[in-house]
Structure 1
Amino acid sequence: MGGYTGQVNLTISQGARMMFYVLYPNETSFKTVEEVPDYVDKATAYFFVMLILEMLISAVWKGRPLRVNDGLTSLSAGVMSRLPDVAFRGVEVTTYIYVWNNYRLVELPWDSPWTWWLTFLGVDFAYYWFHRMAHEVNIIWAGHQTHHSSEDYNLTTALRQSFLQKYFSWMFYWPMALLIPPSVFAVHLQFNLLYQFWIHTEIINNLGPLELILNTPSHHRVHHGRNPYCIDSNYAGTLIIWDRMFGTFVAEKDKVVYGLTHPINTFEPFTVQLQHLIYIWKTFWSTPGFSNKLSVIFKGPGWGPGKPRLGLPEELPKVTGDEKPYDPEQSKAVQIYSCIHFILLLAIYQHMFAAKHILSPITILGRILYILLMLTSLGFLLENRAGAAVLEMFRCFAFLLLQKYGFLATDIPVLTSICEVIFSICAASWGLKAISQRMFKMKKED
């Protein structure tokens, strides 16, 4: 198996500082990539502590409780985006190592603070340009749009990631591989991502002088807006100085309305991930002329024949501030059920990452397929889709079969027995609901 294998144990202080990019060179310098910890995996507990704090503050202080459907969809996308990392080292690090091994010009010392700080700037600079191209090149936007599809803005939105995006970003980091060791790059690649978690919130307003240098919640709220003044701005990862330097900085002013300019109105995870790629495919074949077909892929999402590279701003849908997010009515019981089963899924997900070096490939594949089935069924439930009851019944039976044959086995016999009872009851309940719905439909048709 690939991936980070370093076994560094972080203190609580280090874990908290990790989320804000304030670990120091002497704490985070490693000679080889294999020694680099999986900081993103270690951050999981901190993600959820911060999520819970934000939910409490938002509900009690702001009077805005988290929307379960949108929040779970964002978390589902985060889980989905990490599944390839169970079996493979990230493509960004793999390709970086290839360039380093074959084409490096200089070998900077891995344990030098100067190398550490240079890498901090290099990764952030490369991220700015990748992020900017992700908004200006349609095929890259097909991956990145997942992150922007939420119509809410909170810490769950930070985790709404695309499993496609990493297959476009690697090329922007290649120049660094000519001189910076992969182990140093692998550390900063993770920290740059983790820093961007806390800025996805509405409970932090202005941070004073820090707004001049750092990417902050205020700056990033603008980036996630679909108001005309927000489009194509504030691409920073950690430092907002790049936007100020290259003319893409916009300060927060009017109320920000979040989401895509053309909302997708779905919680089904594969649609959330792939809908724009499907759009590109259809547009490619329906657009006449070879050069126009290439433009569909490599120009901006708003481009069309006869238009500028990034499209016409006046064609963007008007935003009044009164828009209501996609929010199909759902019972509290189904919301609570969805949350409980998602938490159970996270236990499977976390164990898979923790034990990936001892699990067989067929066991990992079985777990990945189950997770994808669970996320799809969850999306159907949150949308009240036809067939949701049948799919959830099938998902519960799948859990029981996978557990019986060892693919989802635990080392705690009592827990296994409890799961058997719970999922048997759930399967039977959803089966009865499916039959009831079918009978009602037949009666209505008669």
Structure 2
Amino acid sequence: MAQVSAYGSQGFDCDVLVIGGGIVGLSTAYALTRAAPGTGVVVLEKEPGPARHQTGRNSGVIHSGIYYRPGSLKARYAVRGAAEMVKFCAEYGLPHAVTGKLIVATRRDELPRLHALVQRGRENGIPVRELGPAQIAEYEPRVRGLAGIHVGTTGVCDYAAVAAQLADSAAGCGAEVRYGAEVASVDRRPWGVAVRTTAGDVVRARVLVNCAGLHCDRVARLAGDDPGMRIVPFRGEYHELARPELVRGLVYPVPDPAFPFLGVHLTRGIDGGVHVGPNAVPALGREGYDWSVVRPGELAATLAWPGSWRIARRHWRYGAGELRRSLSRRAFTEAVQRLLPEVTEADLRPSPAGVRAQAVLRDGTLADDFLLREAPRTVHVLNAPSPAATASLPIGREVARRALRHLGREPAGPLPGGAEPAAARTPGGP
């Protein structure tokens, strides 16, 4: 990297060191190289390539923002990010499609929640069309429901391809992305930050950005900060539909507002296949993609966090249902049949799972919004599960803006891509 030699004479390898090569970390590097050309950026990613965890293990949906509380970062960034993601994919020739989606109520007790979603969507500036049973069938002939809504701005893309493009574009502007570089220690001093990898390499930077996803709380503690939360990993288990012709597009149930999970849904991906899921069960390791993966130290840390037990006591019935669907193909099929009555157990083939990096507060609250926190010479991204991939471009700009402020280089105007919301510009952050 051209900048490194210049910084080396001053004892620095870069201006900003980003930990994490998922879509948020790479979007931050991408934004930094465009907002302040000449800023030295290094990204450390422990895997051999980008997007190996949350970014590359989801259903690829470009979320509209309809679910999220008006005024929240999720709502603002998802609405803006959906439009920007479509534009980004088009600019770089990445596979994507704006398909729209259905949210369908299958029981009468879901109707008030469906109507509340209509109102929320309109407050967030999202076009929503209300549907009766016959109109649902016009979009999805095999789907059954009492009522539904159609959200036209939802789409699908390949987020792993997006992350790879962000890495290439950032590198083309001088950033350095180092793969196979797992962080072992963080030494924060008045002059800056020194990070040592497990291979023994040391990178010295003026500012640290923590986008470590499933490991973000651990990195925050390595830096000497108390994040006030812990990542409690939830595995999302998917199946693939053997008869993809049963579904034209994207079909979702009405979510329970008490949880950040959207329920078992049907997603026709950019490759034409249909993913079914996910359900959400506790993972036995931060990268526990099936029941056979058990990381005793990580599991012990989860169990030692008071918030984990408070979640279990508060929501054990919900958790029991998710666990039952994980262990029983019949139970999982029954959940799908609420939306798609024709589906059978034989139609569902196991597909790779993902793990959601869910931030849980000490009192057992599941963090509902993105969490961005700052410390001296440091920006931590502490809760960025779905819809973070959708919102990654505006999130990356906001994190980049904060990092530049720590450098004393905040741009005079908005970062490329559009002005950030006023609430996101407060010094302490949201």
Specify the TM-score bucket, using the shorter chain as the normaliser. under 0.3
The structure with the greater share of residues assigned to strand is 2
Bigger Rg, structure 1 or 2: 1
